[in-house]
Amino acid sequence: MNLVILSQNERLYSTRRLVEEAEKRGHSAEVIDPLKCDLIIEQEHPAIYYRDRYLTDVDAVIPRIGNSLTFYGCAVVRQFEMMGVFTTVRSEAIIKSRDKLRSLQLLTKAGVGMPKTVFTNYSRDVEEVIQRVGGTPVIIKLLEGTQGLGVVLAETVNAATSVLEAFNGLEARVIVQEFIAEANGADLRAFIVDGQVVGAMIRQGKPGEFRSNLHRGGTANYVKLSPEEISLAVKAAQALKLPVCGVDILRSNRGPLLMEINSSPGLEGIEAASEKNISKSIITFIERNLR
């Protein structure tokens, strides 16, 4: 097979591991920067021109597209789809997952449990918004935030009011979400490949930090998920039509709750913590679909 990995940096752990596993299984794998692709829009002859050549004879694409590249990156993925190339995650699914509000609406319709959440186009009655999610403390999230950026813990009504007013002044869209205190600054990451959990870890935020992101100094360890946690992760991935994704879960007193779903999850933390070869699982998923 001829594989294309859409990534801006071939030295990133996730990109390198996918190349390694593809080559181990006898496939060729080329890393291509999506921002350097030209899309040829022509009736019945869609094509992609990269550097000095047309991309032909591509069997499958693995999108590794960061949030800041969503618009153009997904246009490149969509072009490959129009050319009849298999992709591990389709462009429409990536776009849905990157829209926090839209994804939460789709997930709640599918019956996926999650913290109480309110989206407001700025309400002056902040106290009423806070009461709808169970009172302070509350989490306030930018809809466009990633890796823990744009996420604030407001412990009092005054603090929540100040944060909402600040975001409103910047014309930033936010959601207000219930704070799950019993999670103790930890969350679970379930890695889904082809509708199954192939690895899991528990991420713990550093002391005094409510965010567990590894990029913010959190630690990761192996965890065995409960049947309820596995079911939630699989249901969430199916609801957003994401064959490959990371599902972040909070353990609460009323059961597992979905925190977020990531359509381009990193491999380094999960492979180290779970001691599972997630990269190999992704390559074999492609093989199964191209047989």
| pLDDT one-digit tens code per residue, 4-22 | 999 999 999 999 999 999 9
Is the distance from CB of 51 to CB of 32 less than 8 angstroms? no
User: What CA–CA distance (Å, rounded) separates 154 from 136?
Assistant: 7
Q: How confident is the model at residue 169 (pLDDT cuts 50, 70, 90)?
A: confident
pLDDT of 218 reads 74
Give Cα 140 to chain centroid, integer Å.
19
- Which tokens hold the place of 34? 């999506």
The closest of 232, 274, 275, 276 to 251, measured between CA atoms, is: 232
pTM of the model: 0.89
pLDDT above 90: percentage of residues in the chain: 71
Between the CA of residue 113 and those of 29, 97, 249, what are the distances in Å? 38, 17, 10
Judged by DSSP in three states, 263 sits in: coil
Q: How confident is the model at residue 283 (pLDDT cuts 50, 70, 90)?
A: very high
Contacts of 291 (CB under 8 A, 6+ apart): none
Q: Which residue has the higher pLDDT, 111 or 161?
A: 111
pLDDT of 172 reads 78
User: What CA–CA distance (Å, rounded) separates 5 from 73?
Assistant: 12
User: What CA–CA distance (Å, rounded) separates 47 from 160?
Assistant: 49
- Angle formed by the axes of helices 91-98 and 100-109, nearest 10°: 100
pLDDT of 209 reads 57
- Which tokens hold the place of 22? 């593809």
Q: Which residue type sits at 154?
A: A
Q: Show the DSSP H helices in the chain as ranges.
A: 13-24, 70-82, 91-98, 100-109, 126-132, 157-169, 227-239, 268-274, 278-290
Contacts of 53 (CB under 8 A, 6+ apart): none
Domains of the chain: 2-96 (3.40.50.20), 117-179 (3.30.1490.20), 183-290 (3.30.470.20)
Q: How confident is the model at residue 207 (pLDDT cuts 50, 70, 90)?
A: low
Is the distance from CB of 61 to CB of 6 less than 8 angstroms? yes
pLDDT of 42 reads 86
Q: How confident is the model at residue 216 (pLDDT cuts 50, 70, 90)?
A: low
User: What CA–CA distance (Å, rounded) separates 263 from 26?
Assistant: 26
Compute the average pLDDT of residues 202-209. Answer: 75
Per-residue pLDDT at 178 exceeds 70: yes
CA within 13 Å, CB half, 53: 4
Environment class of 153 (CB within 10 Å of its CB; exposed 0-12, middle 13-18, buried 19+):
middle
Q: Which residues of 142-151 are buried (b: 16+ CB within 10 A; e: fewer)?
A: bbbbbebeeb
Q: Which residue has the higher pLDDT, 56 or 144?
A: 56
pLDDT of 130 reads 86
Q: Which of 43-57, 61-75, 141-155, 266-280 has the lowest mean pLDDT?
A: 141-155
pLDDT of 31 reads 98
Neighbours of 53 (CB within 10 A): 8
pLDDT of 212 reads 55
| Model pLDDT for residues 183-199, shown as the tens digit of each residue | 988 999 999 999 999 99
Compute the average pLDDT of residues 151-166. Answer: 88
Neighbours of 269 (CB within 10 A): 21
Per-residue pLDDT at 215 exceeds 70: no
